[in-house]
């Protein structure tokens, strides 16, 4: 599992595009994974034949774990399949993972090796601390001896480990071996790692081990691995698949009063970011309700304009343009707070974020240098941003560096809201539903298109005067769209 950047430590395998025996070429996409930021397609850097997929779809894997092995020896791949059923299954596996021939590397078959593009591991980065050598009865020695040979094959790892050497079992046991994410999982589930029987290579406790230990007593009687793997296969419904996997009792699943859904991926990252923002930046929210009828008429006119032919024209497009004009008149709202340097960073560019609801959760991709785009270009950028988000193909880079965000809650029929700032930004604008309402127009009550805007801002950066002026300018442009020309 490569490090795709952003300091992420794990990713969930959403879908495999290849199976054992398939031929792959350098640069071919072999799987799709979801990090806490976005879904990413991973290429393979080898030409060869797929030997093994180490993890099924729906599995969350730590960065650095080998998730696929490829046989680069051409015709040698078919021989690996029958060999896998033999006791010495570990023999063909090292050959499946490309590695130089020097004896120094053969002496450390347990070391992590770079498998996918973007991930490299130093030879010394995965050395584990030496385990204590404990005198064992003569009868136990033969059982422990095969451990080095069987370690590369996860399925055969538990058998060679002597009972008194299992993590947490017997007086001679060391501190249980487990990676930090697994330790955190155990802590969250209230599982003592010392009571968990490890099944990972070299006696390492895995996620599955922790989940099995946390399951009800009746759970081991059912074939848990098969139950988890099958529903998690469809990448289109990861949440439903996970909910099915954690059903407490198969017999009462239909009558369950609660469903527990693991918090992970985009939703987990969003939750952490929102909590951090809400309790770091002092939020202030202001509202303005106004007549947007002229802007709605302009939208209809632009739809028939030949210069906008083939482009998507909607109220959000003109609202975004009005925001850019208002930022130009009030540049102080386009800033960031640098806590470490104790400085206010004023941005002279606008990366306009658009909050998008996707099946995997809320994301905020942004349009780079939106301030420099004419209306047709802005329309294209918005269309591409929305289409990419709906397909789940938004890249981490597309969500970095935003300076101001618009969230359109009006599409759900909501009048307004008090949005939370996107971390690193100073303001966010919520757009409410546009409705036909009675309004005083030219001294008479008439039916007009009316909406409400809500601006939340960081009061460390934006005081009440600046926030009010900015919000009033956005409303003024949308009340009288000709200001797009006179003010822009």
Give the residue extent of every domain in the chain.
Answer: 10-106, 141-264, 267-486
Average pLDDT for 119-145: 43
Phi, psi at residue 98, to the nearest 5°? -60, 130
The mean pLDDT value of the chain amounts to: 75
pTM given for the model: 0.54
How big is the chain by its Cα radius of gyration, in Å?
29
- 348 tagged catalytic: no
Average pLDDT for 344-368: 90
Q: Which fold has domain 267-486?
A: Chloramphenicol Acetyltransferase (3.30.559)
Confidence of residue 482 (pLDDT cuts 50, 70, 90): very high
Q: Across 135-144, 185-194, 203-212, 399-408, which has the greatest mean pLDDT?
A: 399-408
- How far is CA 48 from each of CA 65, 67, 171, 186, rounded to the nearest angstrom? 20, 16, 47, 38
Question: pLDDT digits over 171-222, tens only?
Answer: 434 567 877 777 777 777 778 888 888 888 878 888 888 888 877 543 444 4
Given a contact cutoff of 8 angstroms between Cβ atoms, the answer to whether 311 and 377 are in contact is no
Structure tokens at 483: 């200001």
Residue 224 has pLDDT above 50, yes or no: no
Residue 254 confidence (pLDDT): 62
Confidence of residue 313 (pLDDT cuts 50, 70, 90): very high
Of the candidates 52, 13, 56, 57, the residue with the CA atom closest to the CA atom of residue 35: 13
Residue 197 confidence (pLDDT): 85
Of the candidates 422, 462, 416, the residue with the CA atom closest to the CA atom of residue 284: 462
Query: 168: number of CA atoms within 13 Å, CB side?
Result: 13
What share of the chain in percent tops pLDDT 90?
37
Q: Which residues of 9-40 are buried (b: 16+ CB within 10 A; e: fewer)?
A: ebbbbbbbebebeeebeeeeebbbbbbbbbbb
DSSP 8-state code for residue 161: S
Query: Across the strands, what pairs with 177?
Result: 204
Residue 321 confidence (pLDDT): 97
Residue 417 confidence (pLDDT): 93
Helix or strand holding residue 448 (H, E): strand 444-458
Q: How far apart are CA 63 and CA 237, in angstroms?
A: 23
Catalytic residue among 169, 211, 371, 459: 459
Q: Which CATH architecture has domain 10-106?
A: Beta Barrel (2.40)
Average pLDDT for 296-309: 94
Look-up: residue for tokens 């591409």? 384
Confidence of residue 372 (pLDDT cuts 50, 70, 90): very high
């Amino acid at each position: 599992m490569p490090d795709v950047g952003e300091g992420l430590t794990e990713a969930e395998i959403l879908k495999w595009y290849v199976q054992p025996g398939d031929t792959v070429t350098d640069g071919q996409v072999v799987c799709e994974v979801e990090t806490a930021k976005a879904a990413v397609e991973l290429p393979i850097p080898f030409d060869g034949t797929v030997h093994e997929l180490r993890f099924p779809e729906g599995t969350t894997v730590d960065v650095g774990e080998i998730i696929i092995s490829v046989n680069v020896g051409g015709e040698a791949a078919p021989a690996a399949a029958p060999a896998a059923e033999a006791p010495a299954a570990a023999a063909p596996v090292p050959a499946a993972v490309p590695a130089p021939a020097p004896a120094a590397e053969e002496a450390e078959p347990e070391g992590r090796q770079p498998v996918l593009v973007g991930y490299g591991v130093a030879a010394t980065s995965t050395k584990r601390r030496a385990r204590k050598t404990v005198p064992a009865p003569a009868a136990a020695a033969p059982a422990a001896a095969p451990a080095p040979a069987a370690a590369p094959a996860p399925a055969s790892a538990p058998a060679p480990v002597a009972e008194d050497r299992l993590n947490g079992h017997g007086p001679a046991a060391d501190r249980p071996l487990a990676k930090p994410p697994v330790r955190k999982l155990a802590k969250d589930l209230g599982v003592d790692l010392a009571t968990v029987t490890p099944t990972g290579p070299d006696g390492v406790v895995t996620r599955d081990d922790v989940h099995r230990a946390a399951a009800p007593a009746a759970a081991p009687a059912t074939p848990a691995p098969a139950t988890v793997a099958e529903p998690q296969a469809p990448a289109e419904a990861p949440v439903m698949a996970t909910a099915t996997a954690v059903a407490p009792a198969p017999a009462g699943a239909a009558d369950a009063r609660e469903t527990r859904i693991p918090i992970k991926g985009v939703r987990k990252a969003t939750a952490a970011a929102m909590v951090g923002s809400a309790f770091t930046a002092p939020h202030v929210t202001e509202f303005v309700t106004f007549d947007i009828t002229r802007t709605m008429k302009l939208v209809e006119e632009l739809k028939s304009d030949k210069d906008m032919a083939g482009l998507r024209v909607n109220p959000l497009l003109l609202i975004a343009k009005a925001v850019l004009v208002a930022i130009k008149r009030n540049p102080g709202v386009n800033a960031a707070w640098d806590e470490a340097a104790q400085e206010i960073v004023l941005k002279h560019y606008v990366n306009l974020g658009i909050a998008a609801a996707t099946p995997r959760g809320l994301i905020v991709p942004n349009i780079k240098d939106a301030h420099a785009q004419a209306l047709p270009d802005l329309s294209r950028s918005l269309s591409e941003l929305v289409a990419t988000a709906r397909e789940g193909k938004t890249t981490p880079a597309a969500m970095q560096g935003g300076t101001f965000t618009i969230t359109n809650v009006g599409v759900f029929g909501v009048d307004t809201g008090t949005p939370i700032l996107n971390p690193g930004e100073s303001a966010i604008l919520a757009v409410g539903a546009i409705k036909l309402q009675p309004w005083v127009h030219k001294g008479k009550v008439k039916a007009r298109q009316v909406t409400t805007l809500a601006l939340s801002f960081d009061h460390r950066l934006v005081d009440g005067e600046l926030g009010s002026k900015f919000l009033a300018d956005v409303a003024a442009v949308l009340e009288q769209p000709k200001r797009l020309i006179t003010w822009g």
